[in-house]
Amino acid sequence: MAVVGRPNVGKSTLFNRLLKKRRAITHPQPGVTRDVVSAEWSIDGRPVRLLDTGGVSPEGDAFHRVVSERSMAALARAHIVLLVMDVTETTAEDELFLEALAPQRDRTILVVNKVDTEKRDPDVWDFHRFGFSEVIAISAEHGRGIDELLSAVTARLDAIPRSLIDTGASSTGAPSTCPTSTDGPTEGTEEVPAPIDLGLIRISVLGQPNTGKSTLCNTLIGYDASIVSDLPGTTRDVVEERFSAGGYHIRILDTAGIRRKKRVTEDIEYYSVTRAIDTIDESDVVLLLVDADKGLSEQDKKIASLVVKAGKGIVLVLNKWDLLADTKNQFEAVRDRIHFLFPVLEFAPVVPVSALNRTGLDRLLRATTSVFRQLTTRVDTGPLNAALARWVTRTPPPLVNRHPLKLRYLTHVQVNPSVFVLFSNRSVGFPDAYLSYIKNQIRREFGLTDIPIRIEVRSAQKS
């Protein structure tokens, strides 16, 4: 279901109202929404893919024409269209949009927004002249008329033949299989095996502006879901898409570029950056994208610290690697330098790619799925404590205030994020160096080399 209309009629406000959460950025400035923002929605127990579109306007530069084209493409694919208009005025842009909407008229509900009070109700009658079978007055901001709109949408859903609904399609209608994964053609009449379903991996792509985040996302999913330009801050909303690779379903979030806080001067950018950072909590693995030619910055380090603190997997992606001079052992030198200068990333896989030239993407997906498998691996208590006994024998713990430090028990209490609890005769003042030693041994012995691990030390006196 697509929410469409000219700029600044309240499409994103309605989108957020239907979702019951702030998913799309709203602002008085026209044209805030650029990409098609999609979200999974449920109405009356039925799943619906809800699309918020950029404002369609016949005027503007090439960039705004791309925004309009993306919105019209989303409209053409929708089973239900919510055309949003502003009760306070009808413009020439509205008239032109109504003409373009003609092929989808039968699938369209005209939603007259900003009818905040009963005083505005008589003004709605004027909108019946446009010839739509359903005209519904609402206030997206205050929730007025939303129940009536939901009833109309439910009735429309009931009328759609199931054969017309492709529940596996993406929001853009493009193929959902990652183009980098090629299995080759099947010859003759040999039966094609059913695809393996290993579950869902939630990925977000973070980084500074103009590092190629949208290009990478578009290349991975195989179509242009996010608008790409040289203009910093092109991506504002979080763009969600899905594809399949290596037996996994992957939900990927393209986010706005994150600059240093003191350089963020506009409200819109502030909301974009805040929303981008919020995606960390919605993800299993974060792809931190860095311009290989520029290297990591302190801002990248801050982003990485947030990811690690949340216990999420992280893969450092060195994009535009093809622009660097090809010298022997260059990647190894860069990787080792990153791990040395940025200890917070000492465990993180580093992958060189060129999103534009489509190189390194298979390697990136393998690293991502490997990190996810490690995040979801649980270590059994028996083998863990047998290993702990060996580690302690090999490297005994130091004295703390001239008292012996005794380790009683180690258990893996949580996966994704991976959390261990270590019971000791002393929880306060436990030496950080020895805790790091235990952490490194866990990584090496149980194959958790590429993920953040948290160990909580608790007091346990011997009975």
Q: Under DSSP, is residue 271 helix (H, G, I), strand (E, B) or coil?
A: helix
Task: Identify the band that residue 178 occupies on the pLDDT scale cut at 50, 70 and 90.
Answer: low
pTM for the structure as a whole: 0.69
pLDDT digits (tens, 9 = 90+) for 425-440: 988 889 999 999 999 9
Phi and psi at 345, nearest 5°, equal -110, 20
Average the pLDDT over 430-455 and give the result. Answer: 95
Q: Give burial (CB, 10 Å; 0-12/13-18/19+) of 455.
A: middle
CA distance 206 to 296: 13
Q: Give CATH 3.40.50.300 domain extents, the chain.
A: 2-164, 200-375
CATH number (3.40.50.720, 2.60.40.1120, 3.40.50.300, 3.10.520.10) of 2-164 reads 3.40.50.300
pLDDT digits (tens, 9 = 90+) for 205-219: 998 887 888 889 888
Beta strands 81-86 and 46-52 are unpaired
Q: Of the candidates 329, 323, 373, which has an alpha carbon nearest to the alpha carbon of residue 353?
A: 323
Q: What does the pLDDT read at residue 151?
A: 95
Helix (H) and strand (E) counts for the chain?
11, 15
CB 26 within 8 A of CB 32: yes
CA distance 27 to 316: 33
CB proximity list for 177: less than 8 A, separation 6 or greater: 222, 243, 244, 245
Domain 200-375 belongs to what topology?
Rossmann fold (3.40.50)
Task: Identify the band that residue 269 occupies on the pLDDT scale cut at 50, 70 and 90.
Answer: very low
Average the pLDDT over 14-28 and give the result. Answer: 69
Phi and psi at 401, nearest 5°, equal 55, 40
Q: Is the pLDDT of residue 27 over 50?
A: no
CB 85 within 8 A of CB 110: yes
Q: What does the pLDDT read at residue 184?
A: 37
CATH number (3.30.300.20, 3.90.230.10, 3.10.129.10, 3.40.50.720) of 381-459 reads 3.30.300.20
Beta strands 239-245 and 313-319 are unpaired
Q: What does the pLDDT read at residue 273?
A: 64
Q: Give CATH 3.30.300.20 domain extents, the chain.
A: 381-459
pLDDT digits (tens, 9 = 90+) for 102-143: 888 898 999 999 999 999 999 999 999 999 999 999 999 999
Whether the link from the prior residue into 58 is cis, omega within 30° of 0, is no
